[in-house]
């Protein structure tokens, strides 16, 4: 289940994962696990250090409070925003809350079928995290198995991204 909100330039996504908080924490902060569902990451991954996601954003690790919160600057295309991920235990599950701000509302829905907005981009990644945690992803790096995905799988992903974008359009109202 995914909850979405947008207020005062802040995109917020909340998802429940059937995994212990420490496992989710390790999946989002350990480079060898992160590459399986998201992107390769390099740099100094400690507070004050700089990171770079391959082919995507980079920035500074602002805070890291294991296993509950990580805060980053998100530097891309000349802009700097902030991403905060919080993890809260919920029995034997974990609630992940991602906030990204400031974000202009027009960047959240998809710009086109081949250019995802921030809403679909983040949610597709968080969906892949769920598949990773449940053991449903192929072996290897996400970028490699995406590059060799069937046309049918790519079309399904595009449809899912468009459905997410449509929901974000409603949220933005």
Residue 91, phi-psi category: left (phi > 0), alpha (psi -120 to 50), beta (remainder): left
pLDDT digits (tens, 9 = 90+) for 107-164: 999 988 788 999 999 999 999 999 999 999 999 999 999 999 999 999 999 999 999 9
pTM of the full structure: 0.94
Residue 133's pLDDT is what? 98
C-alpha–C-alpha distance, residues 10 and 138, integer Å: 33
pLDDT digits (tens, 9 = 90+) for 21-49: 999 999 999 999 999 999 999 999 999 99
Residue 113's pLDDT is what? 78
At which residue do the structure tokens 């924490």 appear?
25
C-alpha–C-alpha distance, residues 38 and 42, integer Å: 13
Residue 29's pLDDT is what? 96
């Amino acid at each position: 289940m995914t909850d979405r909100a947008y207020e005062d330039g802040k995109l917020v996504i909340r998802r429940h994962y059937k995994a212990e908080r420490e496992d989710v924490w390790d999946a989002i902060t350990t480079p060898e696990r992160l590459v399986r569902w998201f992107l390769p990451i390099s740099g100094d991954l400690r507070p004050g250090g700089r990171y770079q996601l391959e082919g995507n954003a980079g920035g500074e690790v602002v805070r890291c409070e294991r296993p509950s919160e990580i805060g980053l600057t998100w530097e891309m295309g000349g802009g700097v925003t902030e991403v905060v991920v919080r993890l809260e235990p919920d029995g034997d599950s974990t609630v992940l809350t991602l906030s990204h701000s400031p974000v202009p509302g027009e960047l959240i829905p998809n710009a086109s079928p081949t250019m995802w907005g921030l809403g679909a981009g983040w949610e597709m990644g968080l969906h892949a995290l769920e598949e990773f945690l449940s053991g449903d992803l192929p072996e290897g790096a996400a970028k490699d198995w995406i590059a060799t995905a069937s046309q049918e799988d790519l079309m399904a992903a595009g449809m899912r991204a468009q459905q997410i974008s449509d929901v974000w359009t409603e949220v933005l109202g």
